[in-house]
Each structure stands twice: as structure tokens, then as C-alpha cells.
Structure 1
Amino acid sequence: MKIFFLTTLFFFISGLKAQKKKDTLFFNIDKYYTISPTITSNLSQKTYWDKVEYEKEQIKHTKTNGYVFFIGDGFLTKGLKPKIILSIKDFIENRKFYLDGKYNKIVDERKLQDSLTNKYTIFFVNGDEFISPRQLLYYSYFPIRQGDKSIENKMKDTLFFKLDNEYVYKSKDLNNGSSIYLIKDSSKSEVFYFQELERINNLKPNEILSLKKYVRASRFYNENDLHKLSEVYFMKFLKDYVIYLTSGKNEYIKVEPFTVMED
């Protein structure tokens, strides 16, 4: 019994030592960049078009692709003495939080989670009050609805994938003359596919990637799972890139990713 107690105590103490105390970051509240029902009352009662008009003001003032939305944990702390209060806009709009690529200005939610919300204890400073977020998310403005149309974010990097006709292959032609392309790792119940948008010649890609290697090296693929590829999340990820398939014959097929549920 004594040995069991000492063993349990040893592992308990070891576990406490292994837990690293998080550093604390203090951020200012920006009227146009930091949106929260904790700060702004009746936020949930605004109509869709009220939100659209407000987002136009946000874009005008911040010139960014999105904003921070957070919900406080229900407690207002006082008496803290931060050495420095950071701009969360400047902190997030750092290349390390963007999707991979030279031109992308789209925040990668996973990178933000790993390098900010899971890594630090966060407080927003509102006068002499300190608000710790229970939930913190980054929302993109895009696509922006304008009448019957939607405006997409044009600041995207381009990915070129080899159309090898083995891993990625043409499935069928549509009545409008475009084609559908499937990939082997797609499941039967949740199908991932590319739809052709247009064909272009004489592009000069720096690199043509293997789609098979790209998929299986991504965080959306798990070899040990029965359902190996998270099709929907992978599709959403690729939506933030311009995608071309090419067989290497100086013809490039611009495609868009989609998913569909099959019965």
C-alpha cells in the first residue's frame, strides 16, 4: 500500500512539473478589429444587413482581410499591471499566422490556435478592466456579398498539381464542357472533387506538386483512421488558393474544390 502511494505521488508530482505555466499577453481593444458581445451590447440583435454595413466600415479602417471575435469568460479582473499592452491586429497580421505562400493574407486558424490561443493566457484591456476570452476566433470578411454576387479575396497564392491520371483523374465531362476530377483518397460517402473552371496555356509555375504527397502530408489526412481524409476541411483549406492541374503539356486546368455527400 505504501509503495502504491509513493508511486502515485511520484507520477502526480512529475505531471505537475511537466505542465508549463503559460506566459500572459495583454492586448488592446480595437473598435474595428476586436469585436465582442462582452464589449458591445445587443450585438446578436443586429440584422444581417446591419452587420454587412458595419463590416464595410471595418474594412475601410483596418484594410485587412478579417477581424478578431471573442467572448469573455464572464469575469472582469482588476488590479493587473501589464508591462506592455500589444496591438492584437499587429500581432496576428504577421506572416507566421498566414496560410503558406508568398501572397496570402488569409489567417490560418490552426496556426493561430497553436501559436496564440493554446500557447498563452490572454487578456483584453478595457480601461481598468481585464477580460480573459473563453472563445477567440478570427473571421474573414470574404466572400463579401454584393447584391446577387459575392466578392472573393483575390490575394491568394497559386498551387500547381500534376494531373497523373492515377491519384487524381478525370471522372466525367459535364454538359457545359467542363470536367470533374476525383482523387483516390476520397471516401465513397463524402466525395472530394475538383471542377474545371477554364483552361490556360503558357503559364510558368515555379513548382508542380504531387497531389498525393501534398494530401498525405497535410493535417487533413490520417493514415490510421478508417476515414483517412477530412474532405470538407481539406476543401475549405484549398478554397483559399488558386488551383491548377496540369499533365505537363503546356496546358493548365484551373479548378475549384468541392465536396458532396453520397447516399
Structure 2
Amino acid sequence: MKKITLLILLIFSICSYTQEQKKDTLFIKYDNDLLKKYKHPIDNYNYYLIKGAGNSGTISFEEKHIYFDLNPKNIYCLKDIIKKARAYFRKGKINDFRLATYLGKFTLFFVKKNEFIKVQTWIEEI
């Protein structure tokens, strides 16, 4: 009986260890002064770029889905997120790699009025 109990506990512990961990969700207010929306001409999807970025790579945010019924606890400013990621360097330019590394830890939503745009962070190194 003890062996069966230990076997079951071992199986449950392995299953719980192998499950994917959820990411925290980060809601960022859409700022027209910092973000610009583009449409990919060939693949026909929307993506966003940060104005003033592209100094140490190119960070982009691919639009995945738009939701209308979410209730976020906190909505953050993009400038504050960039500061928190310590992604500013040399005269206010953005370190794209550092910002992408920081934002990669989160599930991201851009909040634009009553739209919640789920995006995925991408970085292309130079």
C-alpha cells in the first residue's frame, strides 16, 4: 500500500512540475505618441512599433486578438514600463533588447478605450 501511495504521489508531482507556468498579465495604455500601428503588406496582420526604438534591435508587438470584456486591476503607462525595465540609454533612446526581455515575462494587452489588444513581443537583433 505504501508503494502504491508513493507511486501516485510521484506521478502527481512530476505532472505538476511539467505543466507550463502562467505568465503575469500586463495592461498598457495605448499611447499614440509612443506607439505606431502598421499592417504587414504580405501576411496581412497588424503590428506595433515604439517610436524612438530600433537602436539595439527592433522590438515589435504582433496583434493576436482583440477583447472587449476584460476588467484589469491596473493599467500602466508605457513610459513607466520602459523605466521599470531600465531600457533607456543615451539621451532617452530605448534599448530594445532589454525592453523585449522584460516584456517577454508577461502576457501583454494594449488598452485603447474599451478595446484590449492582446500582443506578442518580438525582437529582431541587428
Query: TM-score higher than 0.5 here?
Result: yes
The one-letter code sitting in structure 2 at the alignment partner of 1:254 is K
Partner of 1:244: 109
Residue 173 (str. 1) matches residue 39 (str. 2)? yes
CA shift, 1:189, in A, is 5.9
- C-alpha spacing 1:187/1:202, structure 2 compared with 1 (3 Å): same
Rounded Cα–Cα distance in structure 1 between residues aligned with 2:56 and 2:88:
16
Q: Secondary structure at the match of 1:60?
A: helix
1:195 lines up with 2:62 in the alignment: yes
Q: Write the distance in 2 (CA, Å) between the matches of 1:194 and 1:186.
A: 12
The number of residue pairs the alignment matches comes to 114
Matches of 1:61 and 1:199 in 2, distance apart?
A: 33
Give the number of the structure with larger relative contact order, counting CA–CA contacts within 8 Å between residues 6 or more apart: 2
1:63 aligned counterpart, secondary structure: helix
TM-score, length-normalised on structure 1?
Answer: 0.38
For residues 204 and 227 of structure 1, what CA distance do their matches in structure 2 show? 33
Distance 1:184 1:216 in 2: 15
- Code of the residue aligned with 1:233 in structure 2: it is R
Q: Which of the residues 59, 80, 86 maps onto 1:213? A: 80
Aligned partner of 1:156 in structure 2 is 23
Residue 121 (structure 2) aligns with? 257
Partner residue in 2 for 1:63: 17
Identity %: 27
User: Who wins on radius of gyration, i.e. which is larger?
Assistant: 1
C-alpha change, 1:232 and 1:221, in structure 2 (3 Å) is: same
Q: What residue ranges of structure 1 are gaps of 5+ in the alignment?
A: 1-56, 65-150
Asked whether the 8 Å contact 2:55–2:93 carries over to 1, the reply is no
Q: In 2, distance between residues paired with 1:254 and 1:176?
A: 18
User: What 5-or-longer segments of structure 2 have no aligned partner?
Assistant: 1-10
TM-score by length of 2: 0.73
Q: How does 1:51-200 map to 2 (within 5 A)?
A: 60=14, 63=17, 153-170=20-37, 172-174=38-40, 175-187=42-54, 190-200=57-67
Instruction: Give me the whole-angstrom Cα distance separating, in 2, the residues matched to 1:236 and 1:61.
Output: 28
Two-structure CA RMSD over aligned residues (Å):
2.8
Kindly report which structure 2 residues correspond to 1:214-229, keeping only aligned pairs within 5 A, or say none: 214-222=81-89, 225=90, 228-229=93-94
